[in-house]
């Protein structure tokens, strides 16, 4: 997550390097290094680096976060669950931004958004502590109006719309479902923008499905990881980032 951007014509790309660490951890050791990947995506034109420090440390580990913060010039978006452990680490690291996500040990990835509406009384003071430290907080939520309304009432300045259901629809190549999911994202983005929230989106975005989301004028940042790291096997990470940025620019133009 990068600076608050009033210029809505510019769409930023935050690259999530978690799955570089997934490959590293499959063997143990130090290769491939997610920090080296972050240097590479910065050189390719990414606008920010995103990394998720999970409670189970299945990919990114504490030292990766420390190095991403100290060695990379781009703004760091620290994704985490709203736990006491993560709050302590985040307040010590003081990243540019913190994206709060739900976390469930059995899930393969972040399945579904944060239930802000159901956890408001817990989340509002948690968010306040991060904001008091100068960290820009975003809430990863499903594109549902009650969640957008609840997000606004917590005082967080940013939401990130979970595009997972849209991804599933595009993977099923079901035009009616794709349109319905896109409509939900559009409605949520307009509502959030009307509240003065900054709007981001991410999860499951690919070269094939990114453009309809990128074309929504309220959205100022996309966070993309798994597809770019997968595509790096075929075309190289730098080229994958450049192509994603080109598609995003063209969608916006
Ligand atoms: N944004 C958030 C908040 C996420 O949790 C994730 C997945 O870790 C992403 C974006 C990126 O999703 P993907 O890896 O599917 O591109």
Q: Is residue 207 part of a domain?
A: yes
Kindly give the number of the ligand 1 atom that is closest to the alpha carbon of 203.
12
Distances (CA, A) of 162 to 73, 186, 189, 222: 27, 12, 11, 10
Residue 7 lies in a domain: no
Ligand 1 mean position, distance from CA 227 (Å): 10
Q: How far is the CA of 81 from the centre of ligand 1 (A)?
A: 13
Q: Does position 105 have pLDDT exceeding 90, yes or no? A: no
Going from the Cα of 120 to the center of ligand 1, the distance in angstroms, rounded, reads 23
Query: Residue 140 forms beta bridges with which residues?
Result: 160
Q: How many residues make up the chain in this entry?
A: 253
Give the range of the structural domain holding residue 41, as residue numbers without chain letter: 12-252
Please tell me the distance from the alpha carbon of residue 147 to that of residue 118, in angstroms, as a whole number: 9
Residue 6 within any structural domain of the chain: no
Does residue 1 sit within a domain? Answer: no
Q: Evaluate whether residue 2 is within a structural domain.
A: no
What is the average pLDDT across 188-205? 98
Report yes or no on 5 lying in a domain.
Answer: no
pLDDT at 5: 44
Residue 27 within a domain: yes
Q: Tens digit of pLDDT for each residue in 56-94?
A: 999 999 999 999 999 999 999 999 999 999 999 999 999
Q: 110: CA distance to ligand 1 center in Å?
A: 7
Q: Is the CB of 164 under 6 A from ligand 1?
A: no
Instruction: Report yes or no on 130 lying in a domain.
Output: yes
Atom of ligand 1 nearest to the CA of 79: 3
10-24 pLDDT tens trace: 899 999 999 999 999
> Cβ neighbours of residue 122 under 8 Å, at least 6 residues apart?
82
The tally of domains found in the chain comes to 1
CATH code for position 58? 3.20.20.70
DSSP codes, 191-248: HHHHTT-EEEEESS--TTTHHHHHT-TTEEEEEE-HHHHHHHHHH-HHHHHHHHHHHH
Atom of ligand 1 at shortest distance to CA of 52? 8
Q: What is the mean pLDDT of residues 151-178?
A: 97
Closest C-alpha to ligand 1, atom 6: 203
Ligand 1 contact via 48 beta carbon (within 6 Å): no
Confidence of residue 4 (pLDDT cuts 50, 70, 90): very low
* pTM metric for this prediction: 0.95
Round the average pLDDT of the chain to a whole number and report it: 95
Work out the average pLDDT over 232-242.
98
Closest residue by Cα to atom 5, ligand 1, is 110
- Cβ of 170 closer than 6 Å to ligand 1, yes or no, is no
Which sequence positions are flagged as catalytic? 52, 79, 203
Letter string b/e over residues 191-230, b meaning 16 or more CB atoms within 10 A of that residue's CB: bbbeeebbbbbbbbbbeebbebbbbbebbbbbbbbbbbbe
Query: Ligand 1 centre and the CA of 202: distance in Å?
Result: 6
**Would you say the CB of residue 227 lies under 6 angstroms from ligand 1?**
yes
């Amino acid at each position: 997550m990068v600076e608050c951007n009033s210029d809505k014509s510019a769409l930023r790309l935050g690259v999530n390097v978690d799955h570089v660490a997934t490959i590293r951890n499959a063997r143990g050791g130090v290769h491939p290094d997610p920090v080296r990947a972050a240097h590479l995506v910065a050189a390719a034109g990414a606008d920010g680096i995103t990394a998720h420090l999970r409670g189970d440390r299945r990919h990114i580990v504490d030292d990766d976060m420390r190095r991403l913060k100290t060695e990379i010039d781009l703004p760091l978006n620290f994704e985490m669950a709203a736990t006491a452990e993560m709050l302590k680490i985040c307040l010590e690291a003081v990243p540019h931004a913190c994206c709060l996500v739900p976390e469930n040990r059995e899930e393969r990835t972040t399945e579904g958004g944060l239930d802000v509406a159901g956890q408001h009384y817990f989340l509002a003071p948690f968010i306040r502590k991060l904001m008091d430290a100068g960290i820009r907080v975003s809430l990863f939520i499903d594109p549902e109006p009650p969640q957008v309304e609840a997000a606004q009432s917590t005082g967080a300045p940013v939401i990130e719309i979970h595009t997972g259901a849209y991804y599933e629809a595009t993977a099923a190549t079901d035009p009616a479902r794709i349109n319905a999911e896109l409509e939900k994202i559009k409605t949520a983005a307009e509502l959030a923008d009307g509240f003065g929230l900054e709007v981001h989106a991410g999860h499951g975005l690919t070269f094939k499905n990114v453009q309809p989301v990128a074309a929504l004028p309220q959205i100022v940042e996309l966070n993309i990881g798994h597809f770019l790291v997968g595509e790096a096997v075929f075309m190289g990470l730098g080229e994958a980032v450049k192509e994603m940025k080109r598609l995003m620019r063209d969608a916006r133009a």
